Structure 1
Amino acid sequence: MTSTNHDPFRFSTIAHRNHRYLSPLSRRKACELIRSLSSNLSADDIVLDAGCGKASVLRDVLCMSPARGIGVDINQNFLNEARASFQQECPADSRLSLINAPLLEHARPQEGYSAILCVGSTHAFGSFEECLRVSRGWLKPNGLLLVAEGYWKQIPSQEYLDLLGGTADEFATHAENAQLARSLGYNLVRTATSSDDEWDEYEGKYCDAMMQYLASNPDDPDAVAFTKRMQDWHSGYLQWGRATLGFGYYLLARD
């Protein structure tokens, strides 16, 4: 049976249906990073979540500060879930605005942002470097950027690059990511990396959500393609990805 569903986000939406964060991030680590970012935010400050997904990090910021938040993403399903979750977590709280639009096209506040979050969504800017450059222009003086980006733990094998559909120069090292930020006018406030446990939790739930969905929906027209895609992906994670691809968090202050 051939799929007639043209939603380009369908696979990701299903595979992430049981994730809070759409990245290998634990609640504990998220709390530590957000505490550092939000300690000085006031009710006059606006925080942008760029490529927000379910806006989970932004929702955490709003729970830990009086700031207002704007989340921008092109996956309407994720935004619907973000809105429902925030209404459940913070009933009658109107501080969260969600925008379904390409990031670079969204209407920005004239005064700029006090903080920007971009956790695993630098592609919404075009690249990690563009995220750093553009965010610096969108931030107020002394504003903070919490950005998360992949990095190579070791030189990737060609087989792994083929699976990713990527190239060896797509990522740098953790230290090189931090150095690039400094060279573009940021001061490092703190850094962190995803642990093996966080990666296993993320990738395990990713695979499990899809396989549970397919078991419950065997007649889905995408079942065969999605099964192969997920099995190939998870096998690649175990064989190459777990030892090769890291995920770094960089809390940066605009100088």
Structure 2
Amino acid sequence: MDRQTISRLAHAHHPISAPIADESVARLLDRATARTEAGRALDLGCGEGAWLVRALAARPGWRAVGVDLDPAALTRARETATALGVVRRLGLHHLDAREFTAVEPFDLVLCVGSTHAFGGLSPTLAAARDHLAPGGLVMVGEAFWEREPSRAVLDGLGAERDDYADLAATTDRVLADGWTPVSGYVSSPQEWDDYEFAWTGSLAEWVLDHPEHPDAPAAREAVDRHRREWLHGYRGTLGFVTYLLRRG
């Protein structure tokens, strides 16, 4: 089973691909879109378009574009947008986010939980800058170390110590790249646990409902590995911060 399919199944009950609760998503989006009644938003690595469809439902004057490599996720995004009556204001592109180009800049560029697509936080911010209108905002979500990771945690994540920094150093990197945080949000331990239980639970439920599916053993292995890495590894060590940034 490929990574995109696993992710799509695992996010069945938590479409935001990050440890952020619905009420926190609503607050972040309200803050990000409140400056103008009519604007344009771009999500680089939009998945099922959860951020964009919520923004469009809350802001009738806004339009949005989502970019992702998973065609099934984009189909789901279109279905959700249709159900909410916002599909005419949403453009979706089946494309590597690094290859996306646009004629007009955007008032808001999002990349929450997808910075790996660009190779890290700084390359993500560089890509976002290329799409941003003057005075626009970038919303970016990135992991950080809540405490010093052990070798076992790093091995479980397939990560190196320098892949992330603590919150202070992560913020310093953002500032050094020429960005000013105008707002931010650190996910709570409860949000992390809710997200991980949803991730492992949704995928495990699919396995239970499809025991004869040829991909069931691989999905079960993914569930067990993820649960083990979380509960016996990075729980309490890996944090997540969502910044709202402006240039300068």
Q: TM-score, normalised by structure 1?
A: 0.92
Partner in structure 2 of residue 81 of structure 1: 76
Q: Choose the corresponding residue for 1:224, options 217, 235, 238.
A: 217
What's the CA shift for 1:20? 2.4
Tell me the SS of whatever aligns to 1:214. helix
Correspondence list, 1:107-118, <5 A: 107-109=101-103, 111-118=104-111
Are 1:180 and 2:173 counterparts? yes
| Post-superposition CA distance 1:158-179 (Å, at most 9, x none) | 1121121111111111222222
Report if the CA contact (8 A) 2:44-2:97 is conserved.
Answer: yes
Q: Which amino acid aligns with 1:238?
A: L
Give the structure 1 partner of residue 93 of structure 2. Answer: 99
Structure 2 CA distance, aligned partners of 1:60 and 1:215?
31
Measured in 1, the distance between the counterparts of 2:10 and 2:186 equals 23
Match of 2:33 among 35, 38, 58: 38
Residue 165 of structure 2 is aligned to residue 151 of structure 1? no
SS of the aligned residue for 2:88 comes to: coil
Residue identity matched to 2:44: A
**Deviation digits for residues 174-212 of structure 1 (CA, Å, limit 9, x no counterpart):** 222222111111111111111111111111011111111
Instruction: Using the aligned pairs only, state the percent identity.
Output: 32
Q: Check conservation: 1:139, 1:254, Cα contact below 8 A.
A: no
Amino acid at match of 1:35: D
Given the alignment, which residue of 36, 44, 53 partners 1:59? 53
- Confirm whether residue 243 of structure 1 aligns to residue 243 of structure 2: no
1:8: how far off?
4.1
Deviation at 1:51, TM superposition (A): 0.3
5+ residue gaps, structure 1: none
Separation (CA, whole Å) in 1 of partners of 2:100 and 2:126: 17
Which of 123, 142, 164 pairs up with 2:157?
Answer: 164
Partner Cα separation in structure 2 for residue 16 and residue 83 of structure 1: 16
Distance 1:134 1:99 in 2: 17
Q: Which amino acid aligns with 2:150?
A: S
Matched, 1:233 2:226: yes
The alignment status of 1:253 with 2:228, answered yes or no, reads no
Distance in 2 (CA, whole Å) between partners of 1:125 and 1:143 is 20
Where structure 2 has 5 or more consecutive residues not aligned to the other structure, the ranges are: none
**Code of the aligned partner of 1:101:** L
Q: Structure 2 matches for 1:21-32, cutoff 5 A?
A: 21-32=16-27
- Is 1:192 aligned with 2:185? yes
Paired residue total: 247
1:9 is aligned to 2:9:
no
Q: Distance in 1 between matches of 2:160 and 2:15?
A: 29
- Secondary structure at 2:119's aligned position in 1? coil
Which one of the candidate residues 90, 97, 114 is aligned to 2:85? 90
Code of the residue aligned with 1:102 in structure 2: it is D
| In structure 1, C-alpha distance between the alignment counterparts of 2:192 and 2:230, rounded to whole Å | 10
Q: Is the 8 A contact 1:145 1:252 kept in 2?
A: yes
> Residue type of the partner of 1:117?
L
Distance 2:159 2:213 in 1: 29
Aligned alpha-carbon RMSD (Å): 1.5
Task: Measure how far apart 1:18 and its partner are.
Answer: 1.9
Deviations 1:134-162 (A, max 9, x none): 21232111110000000001111111211
Q: Is the 8 A contact 1:58 1:117 kept in 2?
A: no
Note the C-alpha offset of 1:86. Answer: 1.0
State the TM-score, normalized to the length of structure 2.
0.94
Q: Is 2:49–2:66's contact at 8 Å kept on the other side of the alignment?
A: yes
